[in-house]
């Protein structure tokens, strides 16, 4: 009877575990005003930087050809990466094959050199 486990119904579920840590207060009018002022200053700064960029119309007209050129360069990059990985695979596989051959010759040499009547005691 001592090992009987009765569920405790007073335990809160896990979905409310962080509810007390949330900041539910409203922002003051002064803080909202300062935040809106900083947002306005940032938007004016971005508009000014956009105004300073020369030849905006030419850049927008050349955008499709720029995308086309970059896409072709990306395709070339992947073909070159394929060739580079293929050459790396050739070197690694050749080196691994060389190590395996040396190991097999070493093992054959040790087996052939072993005395024929050797008794193992266990």
Position 1 pLDDT exceeds 60: no
Residues 73-94 have pLDDT tens digits of 999 999 899 999 999 999 999 9
Residues 35-72 have pLDDT tens digits of 999 999 999 999 999 999 999 899 999 999 999 999 99
Q: Quick one: 33 and 73 in the same domain?
A: no
Domain assignment of residue 122, yes or no: no
Q: Quick one: 83 and 96 in the same domain?
A: yes
Q: Quick one: 49 and 77 in the same domain?
A: no
Q: Quick one: 44 and 57 in the same domain?
A: yes
Domain assignment of residue 72, yes or no: yes
Q: Domain containing 54: what range? A: 26-61
Name the DSSP letter for residue 19: G
**Residue whose token pair is 């024929």:** 116
What is d(CA 73, CA 5) in angstroms, rounded to the nearest whole number? 68
Burial 33-50 (b: 16+ CB within 10 A, else e): eeeeeeeeeeeeeeeeee
Q: Quick one: 76 and 106 in the same domain?
A: yes
The number of distinct structural domains making up the chain is: 2
Q: Quick one: 57 and 88 in the same domain?
A: no
- Predicted pLDDT of residue 48: 95
The domain boundary, picked from 18, 39, 61, lies at 61
Percent of the chain's residues with pLDDT above 70: 75
What is the rounded average pLDDT of the residues 11-30?
68
Percent helix, strand and coil across the chain, each to the nearest 5? 70, 0, 30
Q: Quick one: 78 and 98 in the same domain?
A: yes
Q: Quick one: 72 and 104 in the same domain?
A: yes
Domain assignment of residue 37, yes or no: yes
Question: What value does the CA radius of gyration of the chain take, rounded to a whole number of Å?
Answer: 37
Q: Quick one: 98 and 66 in the same domain?
A: yes
């Amino acid at each position: 009877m001592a090992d009987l486990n009765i569920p405790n119904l007073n335990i809160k579920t896990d979905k409310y575990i962080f509810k007390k840590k949330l900041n539910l207060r409203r922002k003051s009018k002064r803080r909202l005003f300062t935040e809106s002022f900083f947002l306005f200053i940032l938007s004016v700064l971005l508009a000014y930087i956009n105004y300073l960029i020369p030849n905006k119309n030419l850049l927008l007209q050349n955008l499709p050809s720029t995308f086309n050129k970059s896409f072709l360069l990306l395709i070339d990059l992947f073909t070159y990466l394929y060739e580079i990985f293929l050459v790396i695979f050739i070197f690694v596989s050749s080196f691994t094959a060389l190590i395996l051959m040396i190991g097999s010759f070493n093992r054959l040499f040790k087996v052939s050199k072993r005395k024929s009547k050797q008794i193992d005691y266990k």
